[in-house]
């Protein structure tokens, strides 16, 4: 053995054979590797959806209350009428039979019929979904942009007064209950407090009787306070995640190299540091995107917003089992699908993922 060979460092056990590039994840492995990666993630999502389907059936049957008695509206009815109601909605069947019927229909897109509305659950969800997307989608765009912008600035100037103010305010608002903040905004800006007059509606989505541009302005007027509530409570999470990820990147040698080449500090931040720090923020954005479909139950309830969150609250109060089950499944499915999409995007942003 030569001296050079003896002094050479030992090869890592997981190192690739000589002359071959290192494994850089499913993207680097070509289309077949990425398809295997995507199939694994999709399979996991399907298993999760089936688990949610089973959970949604049994979980809400633990809620106290008899939906059949609710359907009578408190009127005295005979045992025969109660039995007819139970037979109409299949509540007279054994639990296992109800479960198999529910799963079979759900797999075909039929989530049952609402007890209180006497309408298909899918139709009720479809009617309320656009209202929820308008509210939570608007808030999502605003708090994501605000959180990334302020988180980037705070990390780049960490330790300064602006960073401490931004971080402290974000932590404070993030810990505030959304329903409490919503009620406070209603008291101050809807009812009016002291010198502040009532500027915005107390709730609802529209005043009624308006069309065209006047209708759009009216909806926007009703949208202001619930959107402010969601943005104030949610932007802090994005800010803190972005700030933490960027702080981890700021000590990298590649940033020192970029500065040594003469790049301006803002270019180093925008072109090099921020793109490499975005992976945790992308995760959070996809999770929050799934929550835009789920809506925000407390905020929609406080502001009487006619969306999925308010519908879920109504269904729980009965309990309207088919509607509760359907909404729970839609909420969970939205988050699962968005998480799966985030997993599929990871290798495109960072080829090290999946090594």
Q: What pLDDT score does 245 carry?
A: 81
Q: What pLDDT score does 295 carry?
A: 60
Residue 14 in this model has a pLDDT that exceeds 70: no
- pLDDT band for position 224 (cuts 50, 70, 90): very high
- pLDDT band for position 243 (cuts 50, 70, 90): confident
Across the range 238-263, mean pLDDT stands at 75
- pLDDT band for position 33 (cuts 50, 70, 90): confident
Residue 139 in this model has a pLDDT that exceeds 80: yes
Q: What pLDDT score does 117 carry?
A: 85
Residue 284 near residue 241, CB atoms below 8 Å: yes
């994501």: which residue's tokens?
144
Q: What pLDDT score does 27 carry?
A: 55
Taking only the tens place, the pLDDT of each residue in 256-305 is: 676 677 667 667 666 666 677 777 787 788 878 877 776 688 888 889 88
Residue 266 near residue 274, CB atoms below 8 Å: no
Residue 12 in this model has a pLDDT that exceeds 60: no
What domains appear along the chain, each with residue ranges and CATH number? 31-64+111-349 (1.10.3720.10)
Lowest-pLDDT range of 146-155, 169-178, 238-247, 261-270: 261-270
Residue 35 in this model has a pLDDT that exceeds 50: yes
Lowest-pLDDT range of 123-137, 165-179, 191-205: 191-205
> What is the chain's mean pLDDT, rounded?
79
Residue 101 in this model has a pLDDT that exceeds 90: no
User: Rounded to an integer, what is the distance from CA 199 to the centroid of its chain?
Assistant: 30
Calpha distance 43→83 (Å, rounded): 42
The highest-confidence range among 141-150, 241-250, 269-278, by mean pLDDT, is 141-150
The highest-confidence range among 54-63, 82-91, 345-354, by mean pLDDT, is 54-63
């Amino acid at each position: 053995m030569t001296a050079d060979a003896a002094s050479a460092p030992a090869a890592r056990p997981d190192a690739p054979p000589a002359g071959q590039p290192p494994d850089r994840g499913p993207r680097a492995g070509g289309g077949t590797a990425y398809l295997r990666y995507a199939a694994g993630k999709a399979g996991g999502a399907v298993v999760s959806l089936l688990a949610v389907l089973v959970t949604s059936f049994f979980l809400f049957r633990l809620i106290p209350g008899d939906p059949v008695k609710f359907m009578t509206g408190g009127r005295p009815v005979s045992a025969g009428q109660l039995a007819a109601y139970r037979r109409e909605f299949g509540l007279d069947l054994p639990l296992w039979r109800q479960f198999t019927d529910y799963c079979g229909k759900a797999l075909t897109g039929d989530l049952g019929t609402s007890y209180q509305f006497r309408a298909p659950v899918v139709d009720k969800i479809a009617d309320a979904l656009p209202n929820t997307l308008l509210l939570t989608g608007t808030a999502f765009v605003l708090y994501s942009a605000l959180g990334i912008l302020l988180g980037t600035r705070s990390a780049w100037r960490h330790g300064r007064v602006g960073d401490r103010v931004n971080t402290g305010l974000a932590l404070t608002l993030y810990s505030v209950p959304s329903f409490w903040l919503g009620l406070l905004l209603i008291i101050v800006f809807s009812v009016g407090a002291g010198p502040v007059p009532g500027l915005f509606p107390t709730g609802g989505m529209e005043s009624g009787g308006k069309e065209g541009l006047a209708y759009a302005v009216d909806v926007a007027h009703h949208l202001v306070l619930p959107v402010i509530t969601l943005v104030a409570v949610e932007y802090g999470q994005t800010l803190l995640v972005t700030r933490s990820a960027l702080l981890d990147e700021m000590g990298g040698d590649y940033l020192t190299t970029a500065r040594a080449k003469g790049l301006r500090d803002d270019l180093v931040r925008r072109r090099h540091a921020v793109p490499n720090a975005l992976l945790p923020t992308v995760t959070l954005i996809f999770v929050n995107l799934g929550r835009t479909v789920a809506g925000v139950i407390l905020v929609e309830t406080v502001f009487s917003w006619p969306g999925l969150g308010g519908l879920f609250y109504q269904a729980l109060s009965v309990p309207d089992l088919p509607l509760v089950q359907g909404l729970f499944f839609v909420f969970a499915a939205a988050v699962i699908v968005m998480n799966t999409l985030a997993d599929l995007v990871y290798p495109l942003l960072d080829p090290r993922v999946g090594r």
